Amino acid sequence: MNINITEETLAPYCGLIYEIYKTKGNFFKEEEGFKEIFYVAISHSLPDIANYVKEVRINITELDIVKVLVFSIQHLQGSIIIERYIRSIFSYLEETYSVTFDRKELNQSIKVCENLIKEEQIIPVYTFIKGMQEGARAVRKEC
């Protein structure tokens, strides 16, 4: 995996998730506090992403947003409300792919993701959310 990660590389991710997350509620007094927390979480998640891509033998040349958002979850625990963060990820997918997920199913899926995160099972959470992204992308292409 050859990726050059800088603060400038991560800035768009921080700004994007901050914009989405703040629509779910005002949990931070200022944007900079959130961005700092998120930047640190992303930085700590990079070895997790590297281990994952090595384990599943895939080659990545750039970080995709879903990897960054999901693998940073375990490093955000205690700093933000995880349920709202996961909901923010799904909101991002809905906005990006112009789809609407069934709310009842989404709420159940978020609870499952939360339980997996509590059990430190981030890869199944990533796989599930990545699958939702791919499904949303496919639906968008059909339209």
pLDDT, tens digit, 9 for 90 and up, residues 49-108: 889 989 998 887 767 889 988 999 999 888 888 898 899 899 889 988 999 999 999 999
| CA atoms within 13 A of residue 51's CA, in its CB half-sphere | 8
Percent with pLDDT over 90 in the chain: 38
Q: Which residue has the tokens 């384990």?
A: 55
32-to-14, 15, 28, 48 alpha-carbon distances in Å: 10, 10, 9, 25
Q: Which residue has the tokens 């800035």?
A: 11
* Beta-bridge partner residues of 80: 77
| Cα angle for residues 29, 13, 82 (degrees, 5° grid) | 60
